[in-house]
Structure 1
Amino acid sequence: MSLDRVRIGFLPLVDAALPILAREKGFGEAEGLEIELVRDFTWATVRDRLIYGHSDAAHLIAPLAIATTLGLDRPAVPLSVPFVLGLNGNAITLAPALAEAVAPKAGLGDPWEVGRLLAEEVRRRREGGRRIRLGVVHRYSSHNFMLRYWLAASGIRPDEDVEIVTISPAFAGDALAAGEVDGICVGEPWNSAAVDRGIGQIVLVTAQIWRRGVEKVLALRSDRAEADPDLVQRLVRALHAAAADFVEPHSLEPNAAILAQADYLDASPTLILRAISDRILLTRGTEPLHIPDFMFQYREAANFPWVSQAAWLYSQMLRWDRLPFSAAASAKAQKVFRPDLYRAALAGRGAPLPGASSKLEGAIAGETGVGSTQGRLLMGADHFFDRRTFDPERIEDYLVDLQ
């Protein structure tokens, strides 16, 4: 059988797992696809390779797909997101001296308490003539937005009280070791690598900031998605099959070994296994801690591209870029996420399909049955740490409330 080749750009991160597993475990081939993976080291390069046609699709930070569509940091190119590659999976890792001042002696801290202590340390260091500097992977990343959300709620003004800089994920630990930054907010395995080197301590995970925070996505140029819907549907099905495999206990060790290969993450299979099994080492010399839903996948329609997730990301762009609300731009941002393509790919395949395309984010307190057009769908708690909710139809009111 002749296979259709699909080139997918990615960064060496654990949440690139699904396209890697779709290639290595035959899920792509089962859909008539020959998946070719192209590794890069910066999100800008992954994005540029996609928009200039050097790749067909990309493992991409969700906000960057929206920013690219809106033309916020370059001429606009419309992108489409038919599939979410995973939720959560990031952490905030601080240099040991700073972590000692703000984090508990054992276990993860409470976001409010860590934030309170960090605000005190920020004030002390500013009085001494130096701002704390924190590294994120891109200006338009969930890492940046969740870090800022937590800092602001803790009484710390991003860009004024602290400095936030951009670092490639693979080099974030080196920047921490060199003292160029005091902390990093990155994806795995790079937090765990910093812990293993003794140069950092994980003090919070981003799942504590937004329990079901959207993270990486599959992105395509919109013109390509419209021109070849059959290819998009087959790719979505291959990734969905990989997601089902990802959560199987018997697949954990084999999958960690695959991801660790030199062509992919080129990292320790032990660190990768910890991440995909939700067992995270916070400090060198301690035992890994089980953090439920650290890297959330497959269950609860985790791969469904909720339009309300795109709306929340857009609200954070307005907040931190200090942009005025635009109904037209808001609509364009929300149309980047394509639940219609997801549904078309999985209709008749047994996967639970949400009946709605948007929801009140942060409003689910515990396991709740939600309407679906196919299958039975239960959703778990999705709260923000400050217990705010986000209504995608009231973005302006939401931003006013945050002031």
Structure 2
Amino acid sequence: MTKTVQSRALSLAPGASRREMLNLTGAAALASAIKLAFPSGAMAQGTGPEVKGTRLGYIALTDSAPLIIAKEKGFYAKHGVPDMEIAKQASWGATRDNMALGAKANGIDGGHILRPKTHLYTTGKVMQNSQPLPMYTLLNLNEDGQAISVSNEYRDLNVQKDSSPLKQAFERKKAAGKELTAAMTFPGGTHDLWIRYWLAAGGIDPDTDIKVIVVPPPQMVANMKVGTMDCFCVGEPWNEQLVNQNIGYSALTTGELWFRHPEKILGMRADWVDANPKATQAILMAVMEAQMWCEKMENRQELSEIVGRRQWFNVPVADLNKRLQGDINYGNGREVKGTNLYMKFWGEGGATSYPWKSLDTWFVTENIRWGKFDPKIDIKALVDKTNRADLWREAAKTLGVPGAPTADSRGVETFFDGTKFDPAAPLDYLKALKIKRVA
């Protein structure tokens, strides 16, 4: 391009006339002039994401790894949203409050959340002043990888999948005037439901036989160390850290309670997704690629090193990498290597990442069980309103994912105690349960 043409091009404003444009010599000069007049690219603006990023929240739990890896490995930038901010949250309560604010008010527009939170936020059940916050479930971040741990006070019982040995021990402690506590991370969230299911399966009523309390994940170990809880359910690395510090032991991993159970999700405010459909697709594709990376066993050590850094979790790699690879040191002298109980991030054809509606149906049903939702709630309507499997399928098609799911149901689910859940008949499941808050 000559200096004369270049100077003319530089002087062109976005409102330059067609005559001025055509006076430039040749098609190449015209293309160069347009590029200079529209530095970000006129056509790119029309087809790319509406924004260059937003703020997503995460809790220091291993299942937030795909959001972090997408940042660290450049997947967000690759898909046109380079300005993504992944912001640590102090607790699930703080996540809720920041989600209500939104990124424009210095909060967050989405992030790593407990799967039932989509339903609890959307209905306003856990929101300030019961104000509904419409949310979408975009993808499932992981399966398995949590655990239920017990204080060393019950070391001699060597409790495992069967919680019933704790029943008499709890009764004796209560008779002595001592308080019993089971900790989880958020009312109605996954950890709440896992520990309630486990206790109830052993004949322990989580509402009358023990007090269920909320403790932020990073504070679990410290609280058990000072003797303020009898058992807890949380994600990693906190169960492993408990064992490594010899404060308690893991009774079971949650994959033993329900193998390949859904856990955390990428959830986002519905208004943000509706206003930014292309940016949403970009975020989805970036996180899905990160899930594919996290799924590979050869990457698990590096994954542990990355998320363990001070700016992310600030925990030793030794508290992360073993359970990620299926080596479970339960504590209390029990250690099993090479299990299939490691955290899953992607699965065949993305089946782990895919947000099956049937799994949402179980979470709503189980929250009816414990009184979080009215038994008359329209389960299907709530799931259809919040689950955006259609957006996942669109992203998978763009990425060229082979064998990606297309159905809504994963079928009948089976729990460790033999109980079955048919998503086509959720109320039959409820009727069969012995300990519950509904008739």
TM-score w.r.t. length of structure 2: 0.81
Contact 1:31 1:238 in 2 (8 A): yes
In structure 1, how many angstroms separate the alpha carbons of the residues matched to 2:374 and 2:170? 30
In structure 2, how many angstroms separate the alpha carbons of the residues matched to 1:148 and 1:202? 16
Q: Is 1:337 the equivalent of 2:390?
A: no
Q: Is 1:358 the equivalent of 2:409?
A: yes
Structure 1 position 289, deviation (Å):
3.5
In structure 2, how many angstroms separate the alpha carbons of the residues matched to 1:99 and 1:211? 26
Contact 2:151 2:224 in 1 (8 A): yes
SS at match of 1:340: helix
Contact 1:135 1:164 in 2 (8 A): yes
SS at match of 2:331: coil
State the AA in 2 paired with 1:195.
V
In structure 2, how many angstroms separate the alpha carbons of the residues matched to 1:391 and 1:335? 21
Contact 1:281 1:287 in 2 (8 A): yes
SS at match of 2:164: helix
Contact 2:195 2:232 in 1 (8 A): no
Equivalent position of 1:80 in the other structure: 136
Contact 1:193 1:271 in 2 (8 A): yes
In structure 1, how many angstroms separate the alpha carbons of the residues matched to 2:79 and 2:387? 23
Q: Please point out which of 391, 406, 417 is paired with 1:386.
A: 417
In structure 1, how many angstroms separate the alpha carbons of the residues matched to 2:146 and 2:387? 21
Q: Please point out which of 320, 323, 332 is paired with 1:272.
A: 320
Equivalent position of 1:43 in the other structure: 92
In structure 1, how many angstroms separate the alpha carbons of the residues matched to 2:373 and 2:347? 35
SS at match of 2:55: strand
Contact 2:182 2:211 in 1 (8 A): yes
Number of matched residues? 375
Residue 351 to residue 51, structure 1, CA distance change in 2 (3 Å): farther
TM-score w.r.t. length of structure 1: 0.88
Residue 7 to residue 188, structure 1, CA distance change in 2 (3 Å): same
State the AA in 2 paired with 1:93.
S
Q: Please point out which of 172, 176, 188 is paired with 1:140.
A: 188
Q: Is 1:312 the equivalent of 2:362?
A: yes
SS at match of 1:282: strand
Relative to its length, the structure with more strand (as a share) is: 1
Contact 1:148 1:158 in 2 (8 A): yes
In structure 2, how many angstroms separate the alpha carbons of the residues matched to 1:31 and 1:69? 29
Structure 1 position 284, deviation (Å):
7.1
State the AA in 2 paired with 1:50.
M
Cα offsets for 1:62-117 (capped at 9, x unmatched): 111211111112211110011111011111111112132243xxxxx3x2xx3221
Report 1:1-400 matches (<5 A).
4-34=52-82, 35-53=84-102, 54-74=107-127, 75-103=131-159, 109=160, 111=161, 114-283=162-331, 289-300=337-348, 301-321=351-371, 323-328=373-378, 330-348=380-398, 349-362=400-413, 383-400=414-431
Contact 2:147 2:235 in 1 (8 A): yes
Cα offsets for 1:167-207 (capped at 9, x unmatched): 00000111101111011111100111111111111111111
The CA RMSD over aligned residues, in Å, is: 2.0
In structure 2, how many angstroms separate the alpha carbons of the residues matched to 1:192 and 1:322? 30
Contiguous gaps of at least 5 residues in structure 2: 1-38, 41-50, 435-439
Structure 1 position 238, deviation (Å):
0.9
Identical aligned residues as a percent:
27
Q: Which has the larger radius of gyration?
A: 2
SS at match of 2:116: helix
Residue 27 to residue 284, structure 1, CA distance change in 2 (3 Å): farther
State the AA in 2 paired with 1:14.
T
Structure 1 position 287, deviation (Å):
5.4
Equivalent position of 1:370 in the other structure: none
Contact 1:71 1:77 in 2 (8 A): yes
Structure 1 position 286, deviation (Å):
6.9
SS at match of 2:149: strand
In structure 2, how many angstroms separate the alpha carbons of the residues matched to 1:250 and 1:392? 36
In structure 2, how many angstroms separate the alpha carbons of the residues matched to 1:118 and 1:294? 27
Contact 1:14 1:275 in 2 (8 A): no
Residue 285 to residue 212, structure 1, CA distance change in 2 (3 Å): closer
Q: Which 10-residue stretch deviates more, 146-155 or 16-25?
A: 146-155
SS at match of 2:273: helix
State the AA in 2 paired with 1:44.
G
Residue 286 to residue 327, structure 1, CA distance change in 2 (3 Å): closer
